Amino acid sequence: MSVTTSSAYQMATGGQGPEALLRGSDLTKSFGPTTALDHASLAIYPGEVVAVMGSSGSGKSTLLHCLAGIIPPDGGTVHYAGTDIGAMSDAQRSALRRRDFGFVFQFGQLVPELTCLENVTLPLRLAGLPRRPAEAAAREWLERLEVTDVSGKRPGDVSGGQGQRVAVARALVTGPKVVFADEPTGALDSLNGERVMGLLVSAAKDTSAAVVLVTHEARVAAYSDREVIVRDGRTREMELSR
Amino acid sequence: MTATVSAPRTSVEKNSWPRDFALGVRLAVGGGRTSWMRLILGTIGIGLAVAVLLVFASFSNIMHSRDARTNASDRTSTVLSGVSPTQYIQVNEPYQGNSISGAYVHGTGPNSPVPPGITSLPGPNQIVVSPALADLLNSDAGAQLRPRFPQQIVGTIGEAGMRGPSDLLFYAGTGPLPTSGAIASSSEMNIYAFGRNPGSHSIDPTLMVLAIIGAVALLIPIFIFVSVSSRIAGAQRDRRLAALRLVGAGNWQVRRIAAAESLVSAGTGLVLGGLAFLGIRALAPQIDVLGWSTFSDDVVPSLPLALLIVLLVPVLSVGTVLFAMRRTIIEPLGVVRGGKPVRRRVWWRLGLIVLGVGLLFLAKPSSSHGSNSWVVLIAGGASALLIGVPAILPWLLERIIGRVQGGAPSWQLAIRRLQMDSGTPARVVGGVAVVLAGAIALQLMLFATANRYNVHSSPDSTDNGWVLVGTTAAAADQVATQLAKLPAAKRVDLIQTVNAIKANSPDTADQMDYNITVTSCQSIQRILHVANCVDGQAFLPSSQGDPVRIKPGDAWNMFGAHDMADHPKLLGSYTVPNNVIPVQVPTTTTMGPYLGGGVVLTPGAAAGLNLPSDRYASAWVLTDPNQLGAADQIANGLAAFTWQVNVDSLTSGDALNADQKTFVTIRSALLAGSLFTLLLAGVSMLVLALEQVRERRRPLAVLAAAGVPRTALGRSLLWQTAIPVVLAVVVAVGTGIGLAALVIRMTSMTLQIDWFTIGIFAGAALVLVLLVTALTLPALRSAMRLSALRTE
């Protein structure tokens, strides 16, 4: 495996690939005296799985959050489908997250008061979909992710692995264009981690959703099409030899 | 292929209100144990507040109805042509420290007026009684009372004839009463109508100030409790809202969801409060505070106030949540506090206190004492001062805690925690501080007022235990003979009285200025503590500080007793003798002051006066302290004299006049209210402490894993609760004493600091701290289990 500065995806397609779905350019972000991103750039293309890797504190999560419009960068731009996310209002960014993005984090993203089924229906209900079709879609995803049996339980009553699969179902139920996964297996044992990753990637492939996968584990990164290394807030693309 | 559903592309914000509300409700009611706990605590807090507020809102109606019924029972003795009057002799019967009021009545014609609450006058040997008196007579406790009411009970007095359900009241029928001459009671007359126009009774301004300060002191902690209830599980709510933001909920959408959540507990609290109020209303007749109770029908909140409560409570609840979120930015990754940490501003907090002190200083002791503007200044000043207490506490705590360093690990943990967030604990103990400050101020004022109203919890006289038997000169000897047979009567002094006015006074009938009292040398020596007395001497008693109104040589006109037509008869003239002996009435005597306002003559000195036979007489009976229920024994022993005697126990509640009764009622209500609001503040503190333990479950487990002993963390909890409370107590004591001093300086009363009571209130607050800590320990023990560290 050798490190390159060009996109492996573009290389594979002879530089004639489709337009980037999501592009972060020259991103900078500091938290007080700490620089998290130092002119980092990354492009995500439709349907690909990109692993963002790096050591702890390298800025990989900050890059994901900037790309998802969760936190605004200090400098640089993020374009989604040609639109500058930074120029959007809070309401527009909320709508974007609801409509086109899905999220799977390490833990804490499920609403503890709602059942697993209600958690999966939540983005659909917030978007104004009636309860029945929302629940029908949610049930299908829970079944696909093999957690139908916990649909009536609350997140606090299910195991970590089951909770993460519910989170994956919630991330995918709206048919997002991009799924952001920040250390999705960080709190799971290896067996459960493998299972969640397998389901996440295969489901994303089936729906043609791109996946931005932040991880520091090589075995998790192995599920990706290409890998990007973040070190000291800068991105470097790695050419995959697998 | 699994179904995916595309979210609608149009903006959903404008149509999302009902959905957001529904989601908020869902989160409030269906979130498992924690949600239910939050909902239940919020409901209880708001419910209690609503119930108390509704009772407060009913107060004016209770007073109005009571006054209306009191007015309806008032009697008119002005002659009305065509009306045959009802002969009416009002009497009082002491019974176990209470007073039974009643009247002997006789209708002189078919259209004789009937008192409210009964349909017809009872005939001779018949009696109608109030339900409370009927119950008493039928009970074992009333056995001692039954000999006094041998008449046949022919009816029950209805609500319209009573001030409250606990009134012990009767109307006894009798034959025709003498139309002239003295009767035992001074309240006898021909009655031509019952009832008078309302509005003549106004509450004493001092009492009004006490009541207003009491209301402020009780209501502020309730508002604090409502606000604290709304903030229960705030951190958890923040995390939940952040999760909603992650899946695309807008910024205002999450605020609407949070508002809907708090509206649920406000709604359930309103329902619970309403039900609790109905319960209190139903129980109102059974709630008897020193003989003061009210009918259920009177406990009706004023409509505007009730509407205000129904609107205000949800608004306050939602407002508190939104206010708490004003600097909060809920982002998908969590919650951040916006901007720089804000240092609490002191100007407006001190401003409230300065305003309060200023208003109290403006209310100078002057001729405006008791006027509306005076009451407004006092009440406004006191309210501003009391509201200033919970306002200044967070600032003060922040400043003091910010300077504290070092100490044992438990102390350090507590201090650091308070340094991170001292606002919430300061707000909670703000409730305790207001209760304490208000209660201390009121207690000090009551301490001073008690002297004015002469109401003491324990008698300080050397010769207490007196029963006054009113009668006539004609019956006096028979009454004295009967009294001598009663073991309860240790000593009897027979006193005979004639009323008089100045000889040249234009007022001849209505206002008797002076008493001419005739009694034996032995009685004079006993009552006035005069060393030497010789028959033929006249005495001029006066109390210390009283102006000297009577001088030797003053000429008076003497009048006989009021007759049924309320007309006293002119008997002749009297001149205060030049050799009258001035006597200073000792402060240690109970009965001495009753001889003030006139001259006291030995029989020899009254010999030439040709006093009429229809003069008033009374037997002053010193009771035997070894005899239980001495006053009751005396009343029973004299029962055969019916309307010819009127027995009054100086220790009975009926010896208190209307203002004294109001005073006693306010004092009881304030003490009960203080304890209740302290309890509310305690619940707030407990909720806060439990909340902290739950929120810090993981750090606590980590500390336990690192070997920090449980006792150290327990002590840390104790300090966390105790430090704000101790500060609150110090501020409250200072404010309470200051407020009392400022109010009392405007009256003729003297400030005496009752350290014992202050100690009780402060001790109660500290006991509350220990109790709260003790109740939090099980939760702490559970939180420190190492299983709390498990994530998968």
Q: With beta carbons under 8 A apart, name residues in chain B contacting A181.
A: none
A170 interfacial to chain B (CB closer than 8 Å)? yes
pLDDT band at A14 (very low <50, low <70, confident <90, very high): very low
CB B684 within 8 A of CB B225: yes
How do B193-194 and B152-156 pair as beta strands? unpaired
Cβ separation A94–B249 shorter than 8 A: yes
Give the lowest-confidence range in A97-106, B245-254, B643-652.
B643-652
Q: Which segment, B79-88, B229-238, B558-567, B588-597, is predicted with the most confidence on average?
A: B79-88
Q: Which residue has the higher pLDDT, B267 or B551?
A: B267
Which residues does chain B have within 8 Å of residue A134's beta carbon, measured at their own beta carbons?
A: 5
CB-based burial label for B59 (10 Å; 0-12, 13-18, 19+) = middle
- Please, what is the average pLDDT of chain B? 77
Cα of A170 to nearest chain B Cα, Å: 9
The rounded distance, in Å, linking the Cα atoms of B171 and B341 is 73
Can you give the pLDDT at residue A138?
92
Q: Does A19 touch chain B (CB under 8 A)?
A: no
What are the E-state strand segments in B253-403? 328-331, 334-337
Instruction: Count CB pairs under 8 A between chains A and B.
Output: 140
Among B3, B236, B251, beta carbon nearest to A90: B251
pLDDT of B142 strictly over 50 = yes
pLDDT digits (tens, 9 = 90+) for B756-788: 778 887 888 888 888 888 898 888 888 777 665
Query: DSSP letter string over B389-417?
Result: HHHHHHHHHHHHHHH-----HHHHHHHHH
Does the beta-carbon distance from A112 to B31 stay under 8 Å? yes
What pLDDT, in 10s, does the model give residues B354-393? 998 998 888 766 545 556 677 778 878 888 888 888 888 8
Is the pLDDT confidence value at A156 over 90?
A: no
Q: What is the pLDDT of residue B340?
A: 52
pLDDT category of residue B626 using cuts at 50, 70 and 90: confident
Mean pLDDT over residues B417-425, rounded? 78
Cβ of A156 within 8 Å of Cβ of B250? The answer is no
Could you tell me the pLDDT band of residue A34, with boundaries at 50, 70 and 90? confident
A125 contact partners, CB below 8 Å, separation of at least 6: A131, A134, B19, B23
**Which residues of A fall within a CB distance of 8 Å from B246?**
70, 97, 103, 105, 109
B1:A128 CB<8 A = no
Count of C-beta atoms within a 10 Å radius of residue B528: 20
CB B757 within 8 A of CB B737: no
pLDDT at B703: 73
What is the per-residue burial (b if ≥16 Cβ within 10 Å, else e) of B182-215? bbbbeebbbbbebbeeeeeeeebbbbbbbbbbbb
Q: Is A152 on the interface with B (CB under 8 A)?
A: no
Q: For position B213, what pLDDT does the model report?
A: 72
Secondary structure (DSSP) of B76-113: E-S--TT-PPEEEEEEEEEETTEEEEEEEEEESSTT--
Per-residue pLDDT, A95: 83
The pLDDT confidence band at residue B179, using thresholds 50, 70 and 90, is: low
Q: Scanning every residue of chain B, which has its alpha carbon at the shortest distance from the alpha carbon of A102?
A: B247
pLDDT in tens, B428-471: 788 778 878 887 887 777 767 665 555 444 333 334 577 888 88
Chain B residues whose CB is inside 8 A of the A108 CB are 239, 243
Kindly report, residue by residue over B470-529, the tens digit of the pLDDT: 887 778 888 888 888 888 888 888 888 877 777 776 654 445 578 888 888 888 888 888
Check whether B318 has a pLDDT greater than 90.
no
Mutate to test the interface with B, among A83, A88, A113, A117 (most CBs of B within 10 A): A113
- To test the contact with chain A by mutation, choose from B29, B38, B246 the residue with the greatest count of A C-beta atoms within 10 A, namely B246
Q: What is the pLDDT of residue B644?
A: 77
Asked which of B83-87, B311-315, B593-597, B618-622 is least confident by mean pLDDT, the reply is: B593-597
**Tokens coding B209:** 């100030």
User: Of the ranges B232-241, B389-398, B638-647, which one carries the lowest mean pLDDT score?
Assistant: B232-241
Would you state the pLDDT for residue B13? 46
A6 burial class (0-12, 13-18, 19+ CB within 10 angstroms)? exposed
Which two structure tokens, joined as six digits, stand for A174?
């709206």
Q: Could you tell me which residue, B176 or B511, shows the higher pLDDT?
A: B176
DSSP A17-63: -PPPSEEEEEEEEEETTEEEEEEEEEEE-TT-EEEEE--TTSSHHHH
Least confident stretch, A23-27, A143-147, B34-38, B521-525: B34-38
Beta bridge mates, B575: B555
pLDDT at B792: 40
Confidence of residue B613 (pLDDT cuts 50, 70, 90): low
Q: Collapsing DSSP states into helix, strand and coil, what is residue B515?
A: strand
Judge whether residue A142 has pLDDT over 80: yes
Contact B240 A113 (CB under 8 A): yes
Beta-carbon separation of B243 and A111 below 8 A: yes
Is this complex scored with an ipTM above 0.85? no
Count of CB atoms within 10 A of residue B722's CB? 19
Question: CA–CA separation, A126 vs B15, rounded Å?
Answer: 11
Provide Rg for chain A, Cα atoms.
Answer: 17
* Res B20: pLDDT: 83
pLDDT greater at residue B206 or residue A203: A203
More confident call, B338 vs B744:
B744
Nearest to B6 among A96, A174, A203 (CB): A174
The answer to which of A197-206, B100-109, B257-266, B701-710 has the lowest mean pLDDT is B701-710
- Residue type at position B367: S
- Give the one of B3, B250, B791 whose C-beta lies nearest to A91's C-beta: B250
What gap in Å lies between CA B46 and CA B276, rounded to an integer? 11
Q: At residue B178, does pLDDT exceed 80?
A: no
Rg, C-alpha atoms of chain B: 34
Identify the pLDDT of residue A172. Answer: 87
Say what percent of chain B tops pLDDT 90: 3
- Of residues B616 and A159, more confidence is placed in A159
Determine the pLDDT at residue A17. Answer: 52
Mean pLDDT of B593-605: 82
pLDDT number for residue A12: 39
* Distance (Å, whole) CA B216 – CA B206: 16
Query: What is the C-alpha separation between B622 and B543, in angstroms, rounded?
Result: 21
Please tell me what DSSP assigns to residue B650: T
Partners of A71 on chain B (C-beta within 8 Å) are 331, 333
Mean pLDDT value of segment B398-415: 82
**What is the per-residue pLDDT for A106?**
77
- For chain A positions 81-120, those within 8 Å of chain B (CB to CB) are 90-91, 94-99, 103, 105, 107-114, 118
Mean pLDDT of chain A: 82
What are the residues facing A75 on neighbouring strands? A28
| pLDDT on residue A51 | 92
pLDDT of residue A5: 34
Q: Residue B552's Cα: distance from chain center in Å?
A: 46
The pLDDT-based confidence of A15 (bands split at 50, 70, 90) is very low
The proportion of chain B whose per-residue pLDDT surpasses 70, expressed as a percent, equals 76
Asked if residue B213 lies in contact with residue B426, where contact means CB atoms within 8 angstroms, the answer is no
Is residue B276's pLDDT more than 90? yes
| Residue B253 with chain A: CB contacts under 8 Å | 94, 126
